[in-house]
Amino acid sequence: MNSRAAEVVRLLTVRGETLAVAESLTGGLVAAEITSVPGASKVFRGSVTAYATDLKHELLGVDATLLAERGAVDPQVAAQMAAGVRKALGADWGLATTGVAGPEPQDGRPVGTVFVALDGPLAARSGSAGGGKVEAPRLNGDRAEIRMESVRSVLALLLKELASEQTGNERAQDTEQNGGF
């Protein structure tokens, strides 16, 4: 899995951008994966592990009414967590994970329900993306497998966004680094 984290660190370094992470069900695993990459300190601002629902509101600014009505396992909660950590830690990009790893359902959601989100800068060239995005991978497996797959999913979401926003200069640097191909 470390190759995804290494690619995130590489692309953010090339772009001169930073990342912050808000985690619930992953409990710090996303931050651990990113910080395992040499050079991560150039791009990684930090993380907030808001496992308790009240901390999602208090530390990340997730709407209290939303949390009361829908619970912590909700796509809008994930989006607000990503935006909140981005703002709180002063990063260009914010990532978030929330979901049910098991063994029991939570907030009326079955085990394996996961939402991963990102919040980022608007693309200057096109006025598109960045902003907020949420995906809902339906995950199977035991608690450990669901948590690790959540890490993979949120890193893949950011990689997809970073790759779609690469500028011509970044592509040229990639080509040069990869032997001209």
Question: pLDDT tens-digit profile of 120-151?
Answer: 997 544 444 557 999 999 899 999 999 999 99
Q: Could you tell me the CA-to-CA distances from 51 to 9, 92, 99 in Å, in that order?
A: 25, 23, 10
pTM of the model: 0.88
Mean model confidence pLDDT for the chain: 89
CA 81 remoteness from chain centre? 9
Strand partners, 138: 113
pLDDT value of position 55? 97
Residue scoring higher pLDDT (23 or 108): 23
pLDDT value of position 123? 54
Q: List pLDDT tens digits, range 38-72.
A: 999 999 999 999 999 999 999 999 999 999 999 99
pLDDT value of position 8? 98
pLDDT value of position 166? 63
Q: How many H-runs (helices) and E-runs (strands) does the chain carry? A: 7, 5
Contact between 162 and 154 under an 8 Å Cβ cutoff? The reply is no
Q: Is the pLDDT of residue 107 over 70?
A: yes
Cα(58)–Cα(171) distance, integer angstroms: 40
Cα(96)–Cα(8) distance, integer angstroms: 15
Cα(78)–Cα(58) distance, integer angstroms: 15
